[in-house]
């Protein structure tokens, strides 16, 4: 499923991958449930962080 995505994901990629709304995605990111890296105002998510989240669920 994730083979089609690059090693670093954007919030829009998460929106495509996860069957939840944008607000819930931001809640997961802001609470660091899905680990992420912030570069200025941009949020990037290494694919491994998403895999870790999915495996822990």
Query: Mind listing the pLDDT tens digit for each residue in 2-45?
Result: 999 999 999 999 999 999 999 999 999 999 999 999 999 999 99
**What distances in angstroms separate CA 6 from CA 10, 21, 23, one per listed residue?**
10, 22, 23
Kindly list the domain boundaries of the chain, sorted by start residue: 2-56
- DSSP H/E element including 8: strand 8-9
Q: Is the per-residue pLDDT at 57 higher than 90?
A: no
Q: Work out the end-to-end distance of the chain between its first and last CA atoms, rounded to an integer number of angstroms.
A: 17
* Residue 53 near residue 12, CB atoms below 8 Å: no
- Predicted pLDDT of residue 1: 80
Does the domain at residues 2-56 carry the CATH identifier 3.40.50?
A: no
């Amino acid at each position: 499923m994730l083979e089609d995505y690059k090693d670093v994901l954007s919030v829009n990629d998460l929106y495509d991958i996860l069957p939840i709304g944008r607000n819930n995605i931001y809640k997961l990111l802001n609470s660091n449930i899905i680990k992420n890296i912030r570069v200025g105002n941009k949020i990037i998510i290494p694919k491994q962080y998403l895999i870790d989240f999915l495996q822990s669920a």
